Amino acid sequence: MAGDPDADAATTPTAESLFDLTGAVAVITGGARGIGQAAARALGRHGASLVLFDRLREQLEHTTRELCEAGTTTEFVVGDVRSAADLARLTDVAASLGPVDIVVNSAGVIRRMDIQDMTLEDLDWLWDVNVRGLVAVTQAFLPQMIERRGGKVINLGSLGSVTGLELRTAYATTKGAVTQYTVSLAAEVGRYGICVNAVAPGYVTTDMAGKWINAEPERAAALLARIPLGRFATPADLEGIFAFLGSRASDYITGQVFLVDGGWTAT
């Protein structure tokens, strides 16, 4: 009956239901540590079953064990996003849990160098992992998302997706490509109910970036001076954005790049 308060209450989503991922299956590349691990924790905490993919077997096993002990159904595949054979194994393991609802493309590499020292081989290496590998993983799961008319693709960008990065020109080139792939794919697959977005972190103290960030006190101080929140991020600071973009709370959001940078780009 129109205006029935009981009926309205029954159809109004709660905060808990908006973020409930019970029954969902998520594939996370680079899931062994750092930002990928944070994404796994966030999605698992909200009920998703997980398949983690990474080259780092020992850390991958450790993260999988931690998630299983927390009550999250978790499988892992040791492999490289550049390997077709490894991706085939990934799709097989994911299929054992059910259709994939969420793909988090967190695997990535970085190389810092003066532009005069950069070679095309450096660019090729970065491109193969950060762009070609990301696209290959997405392509592996898109058909089932299209068939089921829904899904979430979350790509990992960077400050380098939207601004220049000294000593990281080749890296930023690949992350700029991730942005364009994200918005273009969103435009193409939106008609199937698939949402495609990117998370672009600022300076995060991961295993890959933390040592460089803190290696020189003067550089660390200069970076901090640019961040309005006055601190570097930890991987845990990104858990919320992954929970949001993986859940129905973001069902009308696609083609966006979410900067999680402590305000870096606001200054």
CATH number for the domain that contains residue 138: 3.40.50.720
Residues involved in catalysis: 171
State the pLDDT at residue 214.
80
Residue 126 domain flag: yes
Residue 228 lies in a domain: no
Question: Would the pLDDT of 7 be above 70?
Answer: no
Q: Is 168 exposed, middle or buried (0-12, 13-18, 19+ CB in 10 A)?
A: buried
Reduce the DSSP state of residue 220 to 3 states and report it. helix
pLDDT band at 1 (very low <50, low <70, confident <90, very high): very low
Which pLDDT belongs to residue 13?
87
- Which residues have C-beta within 8 Å of that of residue 78, sequence separation ≥ 6? 54, 55, 57, 60, 86
Max mean pLDDT among 20-29, 164-173, 212-221 falls in 20-29
Domain count, the chain: 1
Each residue of 141-197: pLDDT tens digit? 999 999 999 999 999 999 999 998 888 999 999 999 999 999 999 999 999 999 999
Could you write out the DSSP letters of every residue in 219-252? HHHHHHHT-TT-S-B-GGGGHHHHHHHHSGGGTT
Centre a 10 Å sphere on the Cβ of residue 165 and count the other Cβ atoms it contains. Answer: 17
Over residues 90-105, mean pLDDT:
98
Amino acid, single-letter form, for residue 89: R
Query: Where in the sequence is the domain holding 243, given as residue range(s)?
Result: 16-203+235-257
Q: Cα–Cα distance between 160 and 219 in angstroms, integer?
A: 18
HSE on the CB side for 228, CA within 13 Å? 8
Measured CA to CA, the distance from residue 260 to residue 140 in angstroms comes to 28
**223 in a domain, yes or no?**
no
